[in-house]
A and B are shown apart, each in its own frame.
Chain A
């Protein structure tokens, strides 16, 4: 897992929760005050709040019933990062906290919202809208607007708390400026106001109430500058004012319509929406806390319901060629009902380097998004040499069998990963008759990550019955790559923020120095950097969400795999014991007949 130092990107949900809650409290308080930023974080640049934010948003996204993500978070995520324009409208209402932009921005969701939002939104200064989504530092207001629906429902824990954190950070001035931008912030979530509603539902953050107010205020207010909305918004735990409720109702319906793939989600959304709309903070809080747990179940159910029908089996290892140029070709047979494939069943022949090539391609494409690419089986020079040389002993047969089983498992893992399955390379691998030879397949190390399990594997391999746990273990190393990606994204974001800060300072200086000509340039630079910051922040959140998803998925799969393997192993043991009984029973009379 990512390191949880304060300076590092927010750790994953598990550890973050308590913090988040705390933060949210702060945020709420901040909101009641005039200037959130004042109260909040001492330094805009403090990493802590961001950290929290990161934690929260992802969760929010996940927990949000509204989130479109439900079934295919990753895919949606990719599609999500919307264009700035749509962002604007959305941003107003989007909660900075809901940084899990990936989840948020679903094109579908956007539609109803923008219409509603755009009109009033246009009126306000372009500044407000134009400004890039405020990052956390920017305005607490963002928090207010936080996007409740973090679409990535996949993740079970909705740590909405993140939004609260956002509250902590802002600068005073920023607040003013940021209000609109806040809204904009990362979430391209079209679901602005609805977001709020759902935010409440989703997150544990008390901030919610304020959030609600803000959108209303935005609508009502032309002057984004006024931090007023916030205070009023934050005034009570009552989430809805009259104004709000109307809008919320509108939006909630809209959002419900947007709905998710599965009816379950709809139901959930509706459920989530209703309480939030009518109830004060308390009920909302409770429902929001319920939502996360529901989301998890929902997620699990979804997974099982939406399980596609795709069976892969690898059979018939055959030696092709002679001498050192020989290789084993495996028959890869696929049976599927998915429409994206050309036919229902098909078979191709693949060799080991083809599998490695597939892995490479997938890694290149997806690992920077934070996906956990399943690792292929290890190369084994000794094993293959034996096979090539034509040694016909049981050990080389065993090697081939082990490799066959490992390759089968590898492919099954690849296709059970919803986003990877969509990758054309994967499809090509399964379908295409002839694959270009993958030449750069380096030997992969995939050494056992858990020493313990490796010890066990060594012990087991001594036994005649094979038990292959190495795949599970080596998958762990892959996760490191995901986390690295996330760190990089976070770093980028931080750097951009720093740059923005500098630019602002420069602008301020210029103002003081009264150099209007340079002022414009400074302003431009600021906008540019603000945009970058938003983008990076968004990216970061996206990756965070993905990585979180991946890790959760991976863990679940690992547990499932492990269980399955152990059961399989025990069953084979059982079988051999039963055979033993048979043989010994047959022998007994013979022994008795000895004379």
Chain B
């Protein structure tokens, strides 16, 4: 097989840590519970993450341990948290997206098929590209899974979650548990997720100014960030295409040079070299852009959705409360089941208040987090852009000199 299951060593993952922080800042500050994903294994379609925990909390059995988890385990954890009523007033960290190795896999397939028709150099080059692409996807998916766990671990409520602990500690396969959970929670989740926007927009009259503002802002922001994400993806893809094109040009020039036997040959080879170098720079730039900007946008698209879900839940609670009010009035009118209705109303109000209160806190801290993350990433990306552009400039200047002198 093309990719033997590779275990990415800690060293290679070290450069991912900045990635982690790029999305959510300061998630590992609290030493009482530190989580990271130092290694990952890719077997066929499945990625097995090594989740490593270091903790001083007494609730955990051991101070340090590692377990193997699959993507589905993360989803299970996320879903159970979402379904937990207690967390209704919290922004639940968005679930990591499924690892998507479709791109590299397709390329690998193409490479395998075309092996006989390619020259050795072409094959080696394509293999190299493929590996790079694979590694990039890998890095991204590890990062996003890691961030998810770290969001949980850094949140005062979530870190205490029983399921979270199981997830971190349970040294056996979680598959069985997952199945059970699915049966239990069935369709709740789906109902919740469906069309939160509709409810918010069409729905209840907002009593709290803060939430009114938040609602409007989040709705607007959500559509804008979706748009920005799409554009950033397009831009990153274009840069990748440019790098690809440079690659083709370089290869083509080398091919011509191979057939050529005049002084022109050297020249062609020089040109091919230039394009190869340009390709490398462009490639780096594309991947840096992706990590710093596109990934950031993607993440916040999901996070915004999580915030919107919170608003939705609160709106639901408000609706429930209003319904309970109406029911109470009706009960009072009828003179029947008043106590029950009162109790119901009280509970609804309680819930609503709770949601509102925690929601406010959550949303405020969410905003702060978001602003900091954007600032950090944009600065880093800008600095990288400048660095790459300066590299390009000196590369181009040098190349032009060389070509002119020929």
Contacts and interface: CB of A to CB of B under 8 A. Distances in A.
A584 B403 CA distance: 29
Given A581-B393, A594-B374, A567 B245 contact: no
B252 A452 contact: yes
Given A452-B256, A574-B393, A555 B262 contact: yes
B245 A581 contact: no
B249 interface: yes
Contact of B378 (A562, A577, A594): A594
Given A573-B396, A581-B393, A456 B248 contact: yes
Contacts, number: 92
A587 B241 CA distance: 25
A171 to B, nearest CB: 39
B274 interface: yes
Contacts of A439: none
A338 interface: no
Nearest to B263: A559
Interface string B226-268: 0000000000000001101100110011011000001110010
A581 B382 contact: no
B252 A456 contact: yes
B118 interface: no
A567 B402 CA distance: 10
Interface stretch (A264-272, A276-284, A377-385, A457-465): A457-465
A91 to B, nearest CB: 37
Nearest to A573: B396
B399 interface: yes
Contacts of B264: 555, 558-559, 562
B139 to A, nearest CB: 24
B381 to A, nearest CB: 8
Contacts of B253: 452, 456
- The B contact surface, by secondary structure, is helix
Interface string A419-462: 00000000000000000000000000000001011011001101
Interface size class of B (residues with CB under 8 A): 35 or more
B389 interface: yes
Nearest to A571: B400
A459 B271 CA distance: 15
A591 B262 contact: no
Interface in A311-326: none
Contacts of B252: 452-453, 455-456, 459
Contact of A578 (B271, B393, B406): B393
A580 B264 CA distance: 33
Nearest to A558: B264
B249 A460 contact: yes
Contacts of A580: 385, 389
Contacts of A591: 375, 378-379, 382
Nearest to B386: A584
B375 A594 contact: yes
Contact of B278 (A571, A573, A588): A573
Contact of A570 (B242, B400, B406): B400
A563 interface: yes
Given A450-B256, A563-B406, A462 B245 contact: yes
Contact of B242 (A463, A555, A563, A585): A463
A588 B255 contact: no
Interface of B: 241-242, 244-245, 248-249, 252-253, 255-256, 262-264, 267, 271, 274, 278, 371, 374-375, 378-379, 382-383, 385-386, 389-390, 392-393, 396-397, 399-400, 403-404, 406
17 contacts: A452-B252, A453-B256, A455-B248, A455-B252, A456-B249, A460-B249, A462-B245, A555-B262, A555-B264, A559-B263, A566-B271, A571-B396, A574-B393, A577-B389, A581-B389, A584-B386, A588-B383
* Top-5 shortest CB links A-B: A456-B252, A594-B375, A574-B396, A591-B378, A459-B248
Given A570-B274, A574-B392, 6 more contacts: A567-B404, A570-B399, A570-B403, A577-B393, A581-B393, A591-B379
